[in-house]
Every structure is written in structure tokens, then in C-alpha cells.
Structure 1
Amino acid sequence: MTQVPAATRALKVLTFLASQPDPVPLERIGRECDLPRSTAYHLLTAMIAEGYVVHLVEERRYGLGVAAFEVGSGYSRQAPLQRIARHQLASLVDRIGESAHLAVLHGRDVLYVVEERAPSRPPLVTDIGVRLPAHLTASGRALLAGLPTAQVRALYPFPGAFVDRTGRGPRSLSALRSLLTDVRRRGHAVEDSEVTPGFASIAAAVLDHNGHPVAAVAVTFEGDPAPMLVDEIQQTAAVLTRRISGRA
């Protein structure tokens, strides 16, 4: 433990606190982060002084402070994933000649945050800022497949949550679960005419350092997919995963 830099230990504590639904006691922080009680206490005291941790004295628990929120807000403002993805998607479009986009999960929808259009291809509905039902899109399915079962259930608590666009797609939680099982088995998601008739999409997830899906790379096309299209999409998602220090 003495060989581990203090900064690494502090970041480990912050990461653990960020993963918890509520503030936690000192003993649990030490146990989960593999720190002696005295080391955990001194780290927390230093982080309290800098505003990254707050001590709830009455509850004898520790939680994230305002400075930690500011770091998260700074990440959102700088949008590093979108900046990195823009170049990678442009390169993907050059290689395959089809339009590509990056989407993130927003409730039961996917939100498109990067769009790269291929020359001479028809316009799509996936402009930046557009939201579409996650269960109907390849992007959404790639993201949903990486979520815990309980989280998927919470997103789709009743049949009315399964909105329809073209008369195709899952209409129940059991149908969605079966579809997501196939996505996990294949390592990529597909949809065909479920968003727009005549158009199909293939997508793969971008993962963070916990292996959690944070975005999806997708390509939309007409007709049959080009050879090696799945590999190209998966490779692009893997590059983005590595660039954000994610874990496949």
C-alpha cells in the first residue's frame, strides 16, 4: 500500500463514492478501497479541505462534495468523447461510404450527439440533438444490452413504454430481453426498418472504465450491409473505448 501514490488512492476513493447511491461510513470506504482506517481518514480530510468530499457529521458518513460536481460538469462542457468520436466517425465514413453517428442513452431514448454524413447518401432522421426510442434503434439496443437487468426493467415498467414508429420492434419487456440477449451474444446490435422503412442500422457500444456503456457507434444504410461493416463499427467503438480509458 505504501507504494501506491496518494493521488491514485484519492481517485480510488472518489470513484467509489461516485458509485454509491448514498454517503457511506469511513469503515466501508477503507474496506472497499483497501485502505487502512488512518490512511482513509487522512485522505478524506484532505479531500474535504479541497471540496471534493463532504462529511455528514450527524450521520458519520462521507459523500461527494461540490468540487466533484464541478469536475463532472466540466466534463460535460468539454464533451471530450464527442470531440474524439468526430474524427473516428469521419474516418469510418470514409472507409465504408455510409453515414455514421454517435448516440448516448437519455432515459428511454437515445440522443444523437455526433453525425457524419456520407456523400450522395439520403438524409436521415439522426441529426444532432434528435431523440429516438432506444428499444427501436441499433444504438439504443447496444446501450441497453450493457445495462443491469433491473435498470432495463425500470426503464420499461409497462407496455405503454414501448412506443412504435413503423409497426416493427419489441412490444414487451420479455421481447426486449430476448433481443438484448442476442445483442450481447453477437457483440453488436441491429435494426431493420424499425425507425425508418427501408433503412437498417448496426451499432456497437463504447464502454467506460467500469465496462459500462456510455455511447454507441452506429452506421445506417439501405439494402444489405457492406462486407466487413460489422467489424469496422466494432473496431471504431473499441478505439473510442481505449481513448477514454474504457474497459472492454
Structure 2
Amino acid sequence: MSGTEAGGSQVKSAVRTVELLEFFAGRPGMHALATVQEAVGYPKSSLYMLLRTLVDLGWVETDATGTRYGIGVRALLVGTSYIDGDEVVAAARPTLDRLSDDTAETIHLARLDGTNVVYLATRQSQHYLRPFTRVGRRLPAHSTSLGKALLATYPDEQVREMLPESLAQLTEHTLTDREKLIEELHLVREQGYAVDREENTLGLRCFGIAVPYRTPARDAISCSVPVARLTPAHEQMIKDALFDAKDRLMHATRRL
């Protein structure tokens, strides 16, 4: 085998490894080999060999029968390392703590990753009725206030390139038409914040604002509150607190 062929083979193997890990990351739980093979489309024999290698290395786990597979603990260690080493997450901690204290609601810091947002940090509300979102969770940008706030920092044409015409529906309130979403992004730019009106989770309203320490923005902060607890006065207080948090986070990240 030539050096070029060997190099190409190594690259192909690396791509398959990453795709396989992303499959497991996006589908919690254990999965049969046939299910994994149907999803990724690799030849069953090479898929099995790759899975066994990843199991031996700790990136994939298998059940007691050895026939079902899921994400391994090594992936958690790498993900934790990313969070621990991210300068924005470190700089945002005091701001997130204060925003949590000011609003008494659930607070998030998230980053745009393609057409999704990934949660980097969260502060849980102390109320009994509260949403729960874990660090590392990945959600469609178009259905979240965080994602809409970030998409609004891109030109309309670039948003059209990023998103398909028909968007995934998570609840009955989700905007599924790209052009209607773009119309809303115009309002987001005008008012400076985005709103998720039960578009991702029924019974939950979220307010998000981008933190443009770079352009287009890649990070945003949000406040989530059950609609049963949301009054006009509480909503206005949340918006004011978010704008204040944005200013403080811009100041904290200006040297990054």
C-alpha cells in the first residue's frame, strides 16, 4: 500500500470514529449493532471491529451481553476538559451567578454549533417548578431563544444557507418555516433579544441575548421560566437583567 493510500485510510478511519461517537452522543442509551449499522451505513464487519476498539479504549461501552453499545466514560472526560479549559465559560461564571441571583430563574450559557446550540453552563432555579437542562445538551437553534439570538447576528442570506426551508417541529408552537423564522430574526435584531414561546418545551418561555464579543456572535445567555410563573413585571425584570448581564460579560471577555 502506498503512503497516500495509507494516509487516506487513516483519515477515513478517523472520520468514521468521530461519526460513530457523534451517533452515540446524540442518542442516549444502548443500541444494537444492527441499529448502529443502519444509522451510520458502514459495513457490519468493519463497524464491529471499530466498536470493539472503542470499547477497549473506553470511548464506547457495551452491556453485559456484549451486543449493545453506548457512549463511554472517555467521552465525558474530554467534554469536561473542554468546559474546564474554555476561557469564556470561566469569565462568565460570576455573571451567570449574579444573573441567577437577580432573576431566581434557570440561566444558561450556550454556543452555536452549526444549526444547533450546545449548553456550556447552567444555573438551576431554586423554585420547585423549574426546567432542567444539562451541560452538553444540544438543541436546534431555531427552537430556542439562545439559537435565535445567535442566528440574528448573521445576515439573512447566510441564515438561508445554514437552515433548510422546513425546520424540525419540537412542539406545536415551533416555527417550522425558515422565512417566518427570518422575519422573527428581524425583530430580534431590533429589540436586542429573542424569545422562545414554548417552541422547545411546552409550558416554558425563554429569553435569550447574544454576547457579541466576536461577530457573528457564537455565545448567548438565556433565562428560562415556566409560563405559570411569568408575569409582565417579572418578564421585564428578566429582560433588564439579561441586558445588564450581557454588558458585564462583554466587559469580562474583552481581552479574550
TM range (shorter): 0.5 to 0.7
Per-residue deviation, 1:157: 3.2
For residue 132 of structure 1, the aligned residue among 112, 133, 139 is 139
Query: What runs of 5+ residues in structure 2 fail to find an aligned partner?
Result: 1-81
Give, as a single letter, the amino acid of the residue that structure 1 aligns with 2:161.
A
Q: Are the counterparts in 1 of residues 150 and 217 from structure 2 also a CA contact under 8 Å?
A: yes
Task: Name the counterpart of 1:208.
Answer: 213
Tell me the distance in 1 between the aligned counterparts of 2:128 and 2:187.
29
Q: Are the counterparts in 1 of residues 105 and 127 from structure 2 also a CA contact under 8 Å?
A: no
Task: Name the counterpart of 2:221.
Answer: 217
Task: Name the counterpart of 2:110.
Answer: 103
> What root-mean-square deviation, in Å, do the aligned CA atoms of Structure 1 and Structure 2 show?
2.1
Tell me the distance in 2 between the aligned counterparts of 1:126 and 1:76.
16
Give, as a single letter, the amino acid of the residue that structure 2 aligns with 1:228.
M
Tell me the distance in 1 between the aligned counterparts of 2:126 and 2:132.
16
Give, as a single letter, the amino acid of the residue that structure 1 aligns with 2:101.
D
Query: What runs of 5+ residues in structure 1 fail to find an aligned partner?
Result: 1-74
Tell me the distance in 1 between the aligned counterparts of 2:179 and 2:199.
18
The one-character-per-residue Cα deviations of 1:141-161 (angstroms, maximum 9, x if unpaired) are 0000001223211111332xx
Q: Does 1:169 align with 2:178?
A: no
CA spacing shift, 1:118–1:176, aligned 2, 3 Å: same
**Which residues of 2 match residues 180-195 of structure 1 at below 5 A?**
180-195=185-200
Tell me the distance in 2 between the aligned counterparts of 1:117 and 1:153.
34
**Which residues of 2 match residues 44-63 of structure 1 at below 5 A?**
none
Tell me the distance in 1 between the aligned counterparts of 2:248 and 2:198.
28
Give, as a single letter, the amino acid of the residue that structure 2 aligns with 1:185.
E
Give, as a single letter, the amino acid of the residue that structure 2 aligns with 1:167.
E
The one-character-per-residue Cα deviations of 1:113-161 (angstroms, maximum 9, x if unpaired) are 00011213445342100011110100000000001223211111332xx
Give, as a single letter, the amino acid of the residue that structure 2 aligns with 1:174.
E
129-138 vs 78-87, which deviates more?
78-87
Q: Are the counterparts in 2 of residues 103 and 114 from structure 1 also a CA contact under 8 Å?
A: yes
Per-residue deviation, 1:245: 1.5
CA spacing shift, 1:186–1:121, aligned 2, 3 Å: farther
CA spacing shift, 1:90–1:121, aligned 2, 3 Å: farther
Tell me the distance in 1 between the aligned counterparts of 2:120 and 2:186.
26
Per-residue deviation, 1:214: 2.1
Identity of aligned residues (%): 29
Give, as a single letter, the amino acid of the residue that structure 2 aligns with 1:218.
S
Q: Are the counterparts in 1 of residues 174 and 198 from structure 2 also a CA contact under 8 Å?
A: no
Spell out structure 1 runs of 4+ moving beyond 4 A.
none
For residue 142 of structure 1, the aligned residue among 149, 164, 182 is 149
Give, as a single letter, the amino acid of the residue that structure 2 aligns with 1:130.
R
The number of residue pairs the alignment matches comes to 170
Give, as a single letter, the amino acid of the residue that structure 2 aligns with 1:231.
D
* TM-score normalised according to structure 2 size: 0.62
CA spacing shift, 1:220–1:212, aligned 2, 3 Å: same
CA spacing shift, 1:186–1:90, aligned 2, 3 Å: same
For residue 117 of structure 1, the aligned residue among 114, 124, 127 is 124
Q: Are the counterparts in 1 of residues 131 and 226 from structure 2 also a CA contact under 8 Å?
A: no
| Partner SS state of residue 211, structure 2 | strand
Per-residue deviation, 1:205: 0.6
